A = this chain, B = another copy of it.
Amino acid sequence: MRPGTRSPRSDAQRNRLALIDAAQRLVATRALASVTMEEIADAAGVGKGTVYRAFGDKGGLATALLDERERTLQERVLTGPPPVGPGGDTAARLVGFAVAYLEFLDGAADLLVVADNSHIGARYDTGPYGFWLMHVATLLRELKPDERDHEFLAHCLLAPLAADLYRHIRFGDGSPARWADAVERWVRTFVDGPGDT
């Protein structure tokens, strides 16, 4: 616990867990977008104000619900086996990350859409996005030391992994597998260069 930060009171902790639990149960059936905040408060047996105190807004709640799944992926990246984890070929790691992230999206797109759209720029302000940005930027730096602005390029590489684009493809004109394939080729073309189709 950082100095200056006080650990939350026991009732606050309890309510936070009850809320996440209630929300998780509701979200198992319906998309979060169609669940009202009041419903979640009722299901957890607390008042609406408590939901907002605990999570700030609906996007914050979505982010909290995503937290565990996202952390699993982060651990794979930090300490898991190659190609996603450290140790292997950098280019393969980049491709591996993109593919793994798309798998994660498949179960989380509904939550991510709420998290990303709750306020302007929400996606880019969250911790997880910062983490992926750093990760990708680092890989790009290793891969192309002579380039500039690796962080900007990392934004470009992450952009096709946005949740609403994934939803559009998934429930629109293409199968997830074909989309994963296209993203993989996209990243690979970028890191390897064209010509080796």
Q: Which of A140-162 contact B (CB under 8 A)?
A: 144, 146-149, 151-153, 155-156, 159-160, 162
Once the chains bind, are B168 and A121 in contact (CB under 8 Å)? yes
| Interface residue? A182 (CB, 8 A) | yes
Tell me the bound Cα distance from A182 to B162 in angstroms.
19
Kindly identify which residue among B121, B159, B182, B193 contacts A153, using a CB–CB cutoff of 8 Å: B182
Q: Does A131 contact B (CB under 8 A)?
A: no
The oligomer's copy count stands at: 2
Interface residues of A in 100-140 (CB under 8 A from B): 113, 117, 120-121, 123-125
Select one of B121, B144, B194 contacting A164, CB under 8 A: B121
Complex Cα distance, B197 from A173, in Å, reads 36
Q: How large is the interface on A (under 10, 10 to 19, 20 to 34, 35 or more residues)?
A: 35 or more
For A190, give the chain B residue with the smallest CB separation: B190
A189 interface residue, CB < 8 Å from B? yes
> Which interface residue of A144, A156, A182 has the most chain B CB atoms within 10 A?
A156
Q: Is A78 an interface residue (CB 8 A)?
A: no
Please name all residues of chain B whose beta carbon is closer than 8 Å to the beta carbon of A55 when the two chains form the complex. none
> Which residues of chain B come closer than 8 Å to A120, judged between CB atoms?
33, 113, 117, 164, 167
* Chain B residues whose CB sits within 8 angstroms of the CB of A151 once the complex forms: 173
20 additional A-B residue pairs with CB within 8 Å, beyond A155-B165, A155-B169, A189-B190: A117-B120, A121-B164, A121-B168, A121-B172, A124-B164, A124-B168, A124-B172, A148-B182, A148-B185, A149-B174, A149-B178, A149-B181, A151-B173, A152-B179, A153-B185, A153-B186, A159-B159, A193-B193, A193-B194, A193-B195
